[in-house]
Chain A
Amino acid sequence: MTDPVTDPVTDLVLLLLTAFAVWTGWRVFRVDSMVRASFSLMLSFMAVGAIGLLLSAPYIGIATVFMMAVEMMVMAIFMVMFMMNPAGLNPMMMVHQHGVSIAAGLAAFLGLGTAILLSAPPSDPVPPQARVVAQLGHELLGPSMLIFETAGVTLLATMVGAVILSSRQGRHGAADEGSRPPGLTAGGAPAGRTPGEEGGPGHHHHHGGHG
């Protein structure tokens, strides 16, 4: 059995997958539609999952694909609830402090990259015959059980917190009481319909419709 770590073909595939993960990650902020953005992010995660598979971490790799497919589906659903342009095949660029963000991103990449290139990490690959999934199971329910259980309790707290935060009923009345949409211009009148106004949708919004 060849060592998967020194095999040049594995190296090449790994390089391509890493490049794909970074490219799809970059596409997330460059595509027009949020559906494309979220599924581009999913592709980035899937590439990382495939790298996990390649580097002999089958459970982590496949679980990443599973988790991210579900998460991005959730993201797509939320997006249609809240975005102005849900199906969104129109150009979309909504950014602030753009220059600062680019600088921060570059600085993070260059700093981490320099650290990686200057340091010499130990080379100690996974032994090929290791039963990594069983090892993970024994670790989770053995020495690291407290950490695992803490993660479980954290997730439970998350569920409770998410339900409370997103609930419409609150101690001081409905959460959306007195809610007003933001103005179309800074400091302008609220967008959308005002409460007193009668008439169905389309009164103010003649967008041409379908066809």
Chain B
Amino acid sequence: MTGLLVLAVLATLLAGACFAVLLDRAQPALVAEFFRARVETEAPDRLNRDLAPAWYLALAAIGLSVVPFAPGLALIDSPAGIVIWGSCEALIVVTIFLHGWAPNAPFPLIGAYRYAALALPVMLPSMFVLIAAALPAESLSLVAIVDSQREIWNVIRQPLGLPLFLVVALALTLRGPMDYADGADIATGTSAEESGAARATWYLARAAMLVSVSALAATVFLGGPLGPLLPGPVWLWLKTAALMALTAWLGNHVARPPPGRMLTLLWILLLPLSFLHLAISGVLAL
């Protein structure tokens, strides 16, 4: 059973990443990029430069492995599943920061610091939204959260949850309005000095991360594998694909405000909204 689940996680990640590449308006030619020669920067931190794309990919895989593929069936079925996902989120921010810091060059460093300053306030709504979803389930386990949505999905019960989590999804996958790390305004930021296989892996990992975040959002807000007729995994895949398309569409169509204004938005608007969301969900769950 464990082997089958490992296979399911890897297959979902791979197929989903291909779908994510198709969704993107301007994706670099990944296959051609893979065989390109590598550009060296002056005095880089080699360990982190070489490993950051791999860590990003690994965190996407770990994030996906807490998601139940059928009711009661997840690869990592931990009583603290949501906290595992939270740790992944925090480590994703660290990874993206290291990816920009390691080349020891101006544009990547600007991207890294800019992203870190904006991603930290995004972590807060993310945790509040996930804790709110854990309230009706009375458990931090994602399996229990899926079970708690048998009658009504969290997206209806907690209407603010999914929109707030989409902001988190945009930030974790470096898309559109939240792409402060790899934005075009600083010549693709953290990956500006990167080329060849490392760059291709980085963009592949971004695509895989979209799968992981969308699958988690589908589980927490859309009932995950629950649904009539079709088997559980198919429902999960359909919901994940829909959320991936929605996130990619938002990424392509919403403008990115300047970092200062986004910081104000995050602290003044999003954080109180997520407090409100948590309070309402808490009262409803009583």
Contacts and interface: CB of A to CB of B under 8 A. Distances in A.
Given A58-B78, A210-B106, A72 B101 contact: no
B93 A133 contact: no
A170 B83 CA distance: 39
Interface string B138-158: 001000000000000000000
A65 B87 contact: yes
B231 interface: no
Contacts, number: 67
Q: What range describes how many residues of B lie at the interface?
A: 20 to 34
Contact of B94 (A72, A133, A210, A211): A72
Interface in B77-116: 78-80, 83-84, 86-87, 90-91, 93-94, 97-98, 101, 104, 106, 109, 113, 116
Nearest to A63: B83
B121 to A, nearest CB: 11
Contacts of B98: 35, 39
Contacts of A58: 78-80
Contacts of B78: 58, 62
Contacts of A35: 98, 101
Nearest to A64: B87
B43 interface: yes
B117 interface: yes
B270 interface: no
Interface stretch (A6-14, A15-23, A74-82, A106-114): A74-82
Interface residues of A, number: 26
Contacts of B140: 59, 133
A89 B104 contact: yes
A51 interface: no
A155 interface: no
B44 to A, nearest CB: 9
A133 B113 contact: no
Contacts of B160: none
A77 B86 CA distance: 20
Contacts of A66: 83, 86-87, 90
Contacts of A76: 97, 116
A77 B116 contact: yes
A164 B116 CA distance: 24
Contact of B116 (A73, A133, A211): A73
Contact of B113 (A74, A80, A210): A80
8 contacts: A42-B94, A58-B79, A62-B80, A62-B87, A66-B90, A69-B91, A70-B123, A80-B113
Given A39-B94, A133-B140, A210-B106, 15 more contacts: A42-B94, A58-B78, A58-B80, A62-B83, A62-B87, A63-B83, A66-B90, A69-B94, A73-B94, A73-B97, A74-B120, A76-B116, A87-B101, A133-B80, A134-B79
